[in-house]
């Protein structure tokens, strides 16, 4: 792995020292952006910033094009490059909620978004006796936007299984104005919510946790300043999220701090040898691993053409997917595009809860992720969609 992965342990604040210089010059499509002179083993043909799903996937793809010795995955440092791929992911901002993260030291509260707190979710479920089980969705973009409600459905199923359902008042407080951004799937989820007697409150943003009192404070986004305090027996927190701090003031970022890329080619709008993929970009689609897979195939083709001094032609349509786990053995497989229109792979109604989709989520998707996507061989199910829908409208 040494020829492919270069991991340099210096403070994260230095990560974009080289990128900060980008704003001082305008360059042609293939001119170098470098933060240091070329030295042995310190210059790479392709530099990938970030070692998550997007970074590893693109590094694997680029390795096959320019050789492993010419690709580096960096976290973080200055290294000169000819092409830069930014795949820094998204930042969890628990501290933006008053009382967190220190509140996690108390029982009855957890969060599936951190390895430090995910087991506390399970403990809170096991210890639940009677009262409010509260689940939240923040007033920011998030990764895997279905996860905050997946844990609600799974918790409800657990309460039924353990005979606690009649003692549980399940509440989903979301900052959004709808349960899901695609109407087809939103309608299906609303039916599940009705059938299972779940309470959903919209435009409610968690702003404070009083863990010692088991109280959560929400602001009404329709009436700023108006708050509501809810006592809980269990609280699952989805934290606010944002671009990584090192990106927010970088010249590669837009006004909101996300990597500013063309939504069809994933090429940077101002620096033509810079590219972005995944959660750190301003692509107007849901931030999921499925989106990264589809983006990786497009970005692969984009960079390949640019390396040949040609114009990118393949366009990303915003494909993303969210397998909505609605019970122990059922999934609604939501797939959609930039227009928030369904873009389904299978010739069945995917808004229905299905065991088959659950088995695919539980057994097939991990294999695709670890053995194909992260090795640069999976660019999403577009080819399967064409095959399964052959001759169908």
Which listed residue (144, 230, 291, 306) is catalytic?
A: 144
User: Can you tell me the distance from the alpha carbon of 42 to that of 69, in angstroms, rounded to the nearest whole number?
Assistant: 11
Whether 266 contacts 300, CB under 8 Å: no
Whether 298 contacts 281, CB under 8 Å: no
Give kind and range of the element (H or E) at residue 81: strand 80-86
Residues 6 or more apart from 80 whose CB is under 8 A from it? 18, 32, 34, 35, 36, 37, 38, 42, 43, 44
User: Can you tell me the distance from the alpha carbon of 352 to that of 348, in angstroms, rounded to the nearest whole number?
Assistant: 9
Q: 3-class DSSP state for residue 280?
A: helix
Q: What is the largest CA-CA distance in the chain?
A: 68
Using omega within 30 degrees of 0 as the cis cutoff, is the peptide bond preceding 101 cis? yes
DSSP code at position 92: E
Residue (of 305, 334, 301) closest to 316 by Cα position: 301
280 part of the active site: no
322 part of the active site: yes
Give kind and range of the element (H or E) at residue 356: helix 355-359
Which listed residue (87, 322, 334, 374) is catalytic?
A: 322
Q: Compute how many other C-beta atoms are within 10 angstroms of the C-beta atom of residue 387.
A: 11
Residues annotated catalytic, as ranges: 144, 322
């Amino acid at each position: 792995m040494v020829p492919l992965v270069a991991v340099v342990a210096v403070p994260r604040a230095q990560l974009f020292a080289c990128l900060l210089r980008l704003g001082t010059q305008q360059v042609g499509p293939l001119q170098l952006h470098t933060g240091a002179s070329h030295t042995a083993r310190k210059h790479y043909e392709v530099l990938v910033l970030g070692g998550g799903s997007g970074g590893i996937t693109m590094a694997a793809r680029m390795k096959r094009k320019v050789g492993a010795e010419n690709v580096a995955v960096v976290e973080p440092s200055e290294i000169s490059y000819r092409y830069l791929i930014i795949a820094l992911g998204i930042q969890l901002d628990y501290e933006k909620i008053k009382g967190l993260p220190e509140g996690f030291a108390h029982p009855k509260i957890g969060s599936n978004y951190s390895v430090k707190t995910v087991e506390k979710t399970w403990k809170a479920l096991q210890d639940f006796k009677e009262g409010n089980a509260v689940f939240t969705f923040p007033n920011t973009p998030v990764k895997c936007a279905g996860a905050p409600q997946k844990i609600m459905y799974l918790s409800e199923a657990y309460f039924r299984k353990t005979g606690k359902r009649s003692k549980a008042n399940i509440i989903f407080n979301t900052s959004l104005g709808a349960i899901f951004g695609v109407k087809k799937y939103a309608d299906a989820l609303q039916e599940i919510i009705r059938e299972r007697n779940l309470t959903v409150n919209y435009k409610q943003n968690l702003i404070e946790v009083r863990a010692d009192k088991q109280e959560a404070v929400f602001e009404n986004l329709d009436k700023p300043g108006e708050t509501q305090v809810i006592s809980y027996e269990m609280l699952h927190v989805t934290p606010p999220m944002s671009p990584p701090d090192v990106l927010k003031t970088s010249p590669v970022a837009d006004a909101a701090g996300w990597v500013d890329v063309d939504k069809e080619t994933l090429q940077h709008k101002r620096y033509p040898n810079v590219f972005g993929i995944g959660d750190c970009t301003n692509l107007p689609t849901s931030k999921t691993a499925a989106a990264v897979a589809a983006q990786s195939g497009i970005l692969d083709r984009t960079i390949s053409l640019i390396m040949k001094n040609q114009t990118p032609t393949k366009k990303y349509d915003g494909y993303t997917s969210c397998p909505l786990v609605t019970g122990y053995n059922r999934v609604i497989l939501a797939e959609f595009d930039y227009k928030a229109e369904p873009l389904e792979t299978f010739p069945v109604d995917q808004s229905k809860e299905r065991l088959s989709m659950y088995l695919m989520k539980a057994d097939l998707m991990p294999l695709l992720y670890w053995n194909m996507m992260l090795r640069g061989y999976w660019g999403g199910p577009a080819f399967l969609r064409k095959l399964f829908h052959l001759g169908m409208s």
